[in-house]
Structures are given as C-alpha cells and as structure tokens.
Amino acid sequence: MQRSQNRNNDQLREISIIPDFNMHAEGSALIKFGNTHVICNASVEKAVPRWMQDKKTGWITAEYGMLPRSTNDRMNREANRGKQSGRTMEIQRLIGRSLRQVVDLDQLTGFTITIDCDVIQADGGTRTASITGGTVALCKALEKIGKTQAIKNLVAAVSVGIHKGKLILDLDYEEDSNAECDVNIVMNDALELIEVQGTGEEKAFTKKEFTELMDLAENGIKDLFILQNQIIKNE
C-alpha cells in the first residue's frame, strides 16, 4: 500500500511548527501535519467566566473552525449559518479538555486563556493537529505573562487506524475516509492517556488490534513531544 509522502505505516507525516506566527496574540503557532495546516492562537484575558468568579482559579477554553476553502470544495462559514455544527462543538470541547489537563489552573487565578484553532487547509487530523499546535501556543502565552510554572505537562495527539487491513499512523483524509477503524489518541508527556476516541467505521476491531494501535500512537506522540520541546525551549 502506497501512502502519502511515501510513508511507512508507522511514520508520521512531515510535521512543522512555526511559533509566534501571529504578532498580536500572546502565544501562537502555525502547525503543519503534511497538508493539514492549522493556525493556533492563545489569547489572555484578565477575567474569568461568571460562574467562576468566586473561585481562586483560572480557565482555559478553546474554539475551532475551518475556513471556507480549507477543503476541496468551498463550504459556508458557520457564522453565516447561524450556529456551529455538532462536529465543531465536539472538537473544540476536546481541545479545551485536553489543554486543561496539563495546566495547574490555580496558578492562573483571574485569567482566562482562549485557544483559537483555525484550519486553513485540511487533509485529515485537524483535531489532533489543533491539540498539538494549541499546546505550543498556550505555552508561549504562559511564558509571555510570566506563568510558566502553571505548565504541568505537554500534550500532543495523533490518529491511528486500520486501512486496507494495515495498522497505520497519522491518517490523511483519504485514509481516514476509507479506514476500517480510526482512533484519535491524546496523551501527556508522561505518556498518560487524556482522551481516546475510536470508532469501528467498517467493522469491529479486536482488543489485540486496539493495543497495537495504542502502541503505534504512543511512538508517534513521542516524536511530537520532541518537536514541541525544541520549539518551546528554543533549542
């Protein structure tokens, strides 16, 4: 089976992260997973949601969107439709949950940080790219406001699946659309699980296959942590 970029089944797409991509945001990154490109901005506000005002803590939330021509055919902006799709809400909640897991919110008392993840080009794996790039943007924002002590771990995510009977890492759109099963894995840099989203699209998959997919994802995520650390520490 020939994969995009002539990849092996256990190989990530070409990954790049450009930090400080936006001159206005406290933290930002342009992340590329092959042909999937996402701009991640972290904006800091000296305020918390109303329901948190009596608590000595901070908050991290996320928003996600796809630009009209991020896909093969132009799609209407969700703002023009008057509401967000269920998919959009699911993904932005996933991003927010993932990033809150790796930050000590009590170190951010009185602050809200919003991570905006805007997909400018989609070729599969937009949610995993958003989490991985959003982490870099968040760390850059915390550095900007002198709150690096709030970072407990890094977080990264990747997709795995079974395509044409083969276990593969980091699915592009064609692979994801035709996979027998696909799983999105989110981990912290202690290699602890934060979230697992898996579906047997065409058929059920076994416990043995799931374990092998988890191992495949873990190896890919280790490589993402190496890249994140290089960017965050300016190595």
How far is Cα 54 from Cα 127, in angstroms, rounded to an integer?
Answer: 33
List, in order, residues 6 or more apart from 116 with CB less than 8 Å away. Answer: 39, 40, 41, 42, 43, 62, 63, 64, 65
Query: Tell me, what's the pLDDT at 149?
Result: 96
As for how many domains the chain has, the answer is 1
Query: Tell me, what's the pLDDT at 98?
Result: 97
Residue type, 23: M
Least confident of 59-68, 75-84, 115-124, 217-226: 75-84
- Asked whether residue 202 carries a pLDDT value surpassing 90, the answer given is no
Q: What percent of the chain has pLDDT over 90?
A: 83
Domain that holds residue 197: 4-232
- The predicted-structure confidence for 164-181, as pLDDT tens digits, reads as follows 999 999 999 999 999 999
CB 170 within 8 A of CB 13: yes
> How many helices (H) and strands (E) are present in the chain, helices listed first?
5, 9
Q: What is the CATH number of the domain that holds 42?
A: 3.30.230.70
pTM of the model: 0.95
Give the phi and the psi of residue 11 in degrees, each rounded to 5.
-115, 135
Query: Tell me, what's the pLDDT at 1?
Result: 59
Return the closest-CA partner of residue 13 out of 134, 166, 185, 128: 128
How far is Cα 73 from Cα 84, in angstroms, rounded to an integer?
Answer: 19
Of residues 234 and 214, more confidence is placed in 214
How far is Cα 33 from Cα 28, in angstroms, rounded to an integer?
Answer: 16
Query: Tell me, what's the pLDDT at 6?
Result: 86
How far is Cα 31 from Cα 77, in angstroms, rounded to an integer?
Answer: 22
CA dihedral 70, 79, 47, 23 (to 10 degrees): 40
Instruction: Report the 10 Å Cβ neighbour count for 40.
Output: 32
- The predicted-structure confidence for 53-87, as pLDDT tens digits, reads as follows 778 899 999 999 999 999 999 988 887 787 888 88
- The predicted-structure confidence for 14-42, as pLDDT tens digits, reads as follows 999 999 999 999 999 999 999 999 999 99
